[in-house]
Amino acid sequence: MAAPHAAAGVDGGCSETELIPSDSDPKDVKRPQFGTRFLTDPRQVFQHNAWDNVEWTEEQEASAKKKVSENSQPLPSEKQEEYDNRANEYWNDFYTIHENRFFKDRHWLFTEFPELAPQCSLNHESNPEAACTGDGQQDALAVEPTRGLAALSLADGDLPGSSATYRILEVGCGVGNTVFPILKTNNDAGLFVYCCDFSSTAVELVKTNPEYDPGRCLAFVHDLSDVEANYPVPDGALDVIVLIFVLSALHPSKMQASITRLVRLLKPGGVMLLRDYGRYDMAQLRFKKGRCLSENFYVRGDGTRVYFFTQDELHEMFTEAGLEKVQNLVDRRLQVNRGKQLTMYRVWIQCKYRKTQPPETQGSEREETLPASNFNHN
């Protein structure tokens, strides 16, 4: 359930803008992790497509709070219930209209989340701009010690991902703009990627993509907020779970339970990676009256919904679910449209949280076997 791009002048339609704007120079695609390009001279603002860690003035912060406050009157409960009940319909309509033309592949993933290709054994031929560097490898979390848990028995048949040695799940995969770069970039023979989305239309677009390889990937329909629904992997089977602009699409009351359910799927030492909307992002400030569902939770013009987080909110949810913080930061980005001479202030939050090792297994080299019969299809 990936979110739409920000669109200037569209009421309630503002959403994710890729970290690499469409008019980027080739050298910008290979940029290092954010936090290295600072705007020290306002007169030079249009020299680059984006500036990192832009500090807001007190006036700018006050103006943002005022705009949010002016649109804080929630819609009637019956309208909120309608948007909740029809959420699947709205997302299916979105992907029916846009298909796979709306998003760009997220090659920035391997800069910010090197855990998605921890061995840096990359396919330079198919995706040269996403090649991993030595620095990126050092930044990757140490998930390698958990790989022994993935030696599965195939007594009940060769099920998707049962023989993999490194498993990734993306929740809210949309049309595959995260999944396909991972498959192209990480050529680890033991890799298997699971991906799911609330929208059956989106999942079908993933499966019909020429790059979809059932031998390395399984796409399936799943409602993240339905904590009783089964995943096609047993608990304790995943090395990485990826949440890119998806948690914000859930009703706030369902977020904690959804995160807690996902954590059960991680191996001890496995990691959860998140990037999502931060409080006072440009998209939040563009919403007009009549779009607020509850505090910091809005409905777009197409019926899809979005929440804007603080660092503390996400930290509380992750730690409540039993994870420990590795990274929790705010990316305040000033994006620039040099052609139109426009500036756009974006606020994103990026998190990495690790599932702690149980005390009795910490430091152990013991390998465990998960029975293939635990694997199932949705």
Q: pLDDT tens for residues 161-192?
A: 989 999 999 999 988 889 999 998 888 899 99
Closest by CA to 303, choosing from 64, 74, 3, is 3
Taking each helix axis as running N to C, give the angle between helix 87-98 and helix 77-85, from 0 to 180 degrees, rounded to the nearest 10: 60
Confidence of residue 241 (pLDDT cuts 50, 70, 90): very high
Per-residue pLDDT at 5: 38
Per-residue pLDDT at 89: 81
Region of poorest pLDDT, from 30-39, 140-149, 354-363: 140-149
211 or 87, higher pLDDT: 211
Q: What is the mean pLDDT of residues 126-147?
A: 39
Residue 236 has pLDDT above 50, yes or no: yes
Per-residue pLDDT at 111: 83
The CA–CA distances, whole Å, from 172 to 127, 225, 231, 245 equal 23, 11, 13, 8
Per-residue pLDDT at 144: 44
Strand intervals (E) in the chain: 50-51, 166-171, 191-197, 217-221, 238-244, 266-277, 292-294, 297-299, 305-307, 323-337, 342-355
What's the first-to-final CA gap in the chain, in angstroms?
A: 17
Residue 91 has pLDDT above 90, yes or no: no
Taking each helix axis as running N to C, give the angle between helix 200-207 and helix 87-98, from 0 to 180 degrees, rounded to the nearest 10: 40
Per-residue pLDDT at 28: 41
Per-residue pLDDT at 24: 37
Confidence of residue 356 (pLDDT cuts 50, 70, 90): confident
Residue 359 has pLDDT above 50, yes or no: yes
Q: Measure the CA dihedral 358/360/362/368, to 10°.
A: -90
Average pLDDT, the chain: 74
Q: Which amino acid is at 80?
A: Q
Residue 364 has pLDDT above 80, yes or no: no
157 or 149, higher pLDDT: 157
Confidence of residue 341 (pLDDT cuts 50, 70, 90): low
Confidence of residue 230 (pLDDT cuts 50, 70, 90): very high
- Give CA–CA dist 365/368, Å, rounded: 10
What's the predicted TM-score (pTM) here?
A: 0.75
30 or 72, higher pLDDT: 72
Contact by Cβ (8 Å): 236, 149? yes
Per-residue pLDDT at 193: 96
286 or 148, higher pLDDT: 286
